[in-house]
Amino acid sequence: VKYCRDLPKVELHAHLNTSFSPESLQALVQRKAATNKDCLDWKMTIEDFREMDHSFNVFKLIHKVVDDEEAVYQLTCAVIREFAADNVKYLELRSTPKDIPSTGMTRELYVQTMIRAIHDCQTENLDITVYLLLSIDRRNGVEIAQKTVDLAEKFSKQPDSVVVGIDFSGDPAVGDAADYIAVFQSAKQKGLKVAAHLAELANFRETLAVLRQAPPDRIGHGTFLHRYDPGQGHEEIEDIVLDKRIPIEACLTSNLKTKTVTTLSEHHFNFWFQKNHPVVICTDGKGVFTSTLSEEYAHAAGTFNFSKKDLWDLSLAAIDVIFAPDTVKQKLREQWKQAYPQVV
């Protein structure tokens, strides 16, 4: 783990509200507990979370704690500092903008607040570059999804913008990803990058429809991309992902804890890695899944027998698939080059 901590890293799949640390959660709960004692029970449930069904209930509790401008600001700053302390040099944070009338929160203010936190952290010399993806929650429907894309476009056009794209997430058992194809196409037309949670469950039909008509720039999880039953016409899923070299964000502990994979050795990370396909190790939610990015690299090393050099190559290759412009990629590669003699 020491080597994995020293390794400069890239984090591409981190949801704001599930990426708290015990300390940042405690601070947020304590703040809310002054007006709502139920917070203390929520905290226990959040810390005690077990599986997929439950995880989406847990997310709702976290959202009750992070429901106003100050909480969004505090959590964003805390998460950035925590990733920086774990030697993450580049972070793409994602979060679902929310309207919360009771606290005066609007989707636009939510994004502004996260951007303010990102800019303020830049003045702290943290040695981490942070960009932002606006998440679409598939439980909220197409109309809000399109509004999120429009919001992302608006913020992406501002000077020094940190908004580079959208994420498609939310409970994969709810709704149909194919309904969002026009939304993804609109995002692409507006010059936004698209990261989509796909094939997190065995929903092959929607996965194939999205891949055919609006292939994303990266796939979140992709647990079932290659786990189709033969002869059902789903082989095309794997072919499209391979042909287009769509990078996969692999979240080892997350998938284990939500029971979409049974053991780490069976994790689909290895399937794509063996094919020399771009695959990036990510945390998903280092708070709910209680695992840092360094620990995720260490799990990969232990499970797949990676050498120090293999881990180095993995973290370096992640730079190729970030959504920030090429100038940022160049800067990061230079940083890796300088760190190499000390780390490896």
Q: Positive or negative CA dihedral for 325, 331, 337, 339?
A: negative
C-alpha distance across the termini of the chain, in Å: 14
- Give me the least distance between CB of 137 and ligand 5GP, in Å please: 5
What contacts 182, CB < 8 A, 6 or more positions away?
A: 142
Of 169 and 292, which CB lies nearer to ligand 5GP in the complex structure?
Answer: 169
> Which of helix, strand or coil describes residue 76?
helix
Long-range contacts formed by 184-191: CB under 8 A, 24+ apart: 184/210, 184/214, 184/216, 185/213, 185/214, 186/146, 186/149, 187/149, 187/152, 187/153, 188/214, 190/149, 190/152, 190/153, 190/156, 191/153, 191/156
* Cα–Cα distance, 113 to 105 (Å, whole number): 10
Contacting positions for ligand 5GP (CB under 6 A): 15-18, 59, 95-96, 135, 137, 169-170, 172, 197, 200, 254, 284-285
- Give me the least distance between CB of 333 and ligand 5GP, in Å please: 29
- Give me the least distance between CB of 245 and ligand 5GP, in Å please: 23
- Give me the least distance between CB of 257 and ligand 5GP, in Å please: 10
- Give me the least distance between CB of 193 and ligand 5GP, in Å please: 17
- Give me the least distance between CB of 125 and ligand 5GP, in Å please: 26
Q: Which has the closest alpha carbon to 222: 175, 183, 278, 306?
A: 278
92 is catalytic: no
Of 215 and 285, which CB lies nearer to ligand 5GP in the complex structure?
Answer: 285
Of 219 and 311, which CB lies nearer to ligand 5GP in the complex structure?
Answer: 219
Q: How many CB atoms lie within 10 A of CB 160?
A: 7
Q: Choose, from 11, 82, 153, 200, the residue flagged as catalytic.
A: 200
Of 8 and 253, which CB lies nearer to ligand 5GP in the complex structure?
Answer: 253
Residue 9: beta bridge partners?
88
Of 107 and 277, which CB lies nearer to ligand 5GP in the complex structure?
Answer: 107
Of 17 and 24, which CB lies nearer to ligand 5GP in the complex structure?
Answer: 17
* Residue 258: half-sphere exposure toward Cβ, Cα within 13 Å: 23
Residues carrying an active site annotation: 200
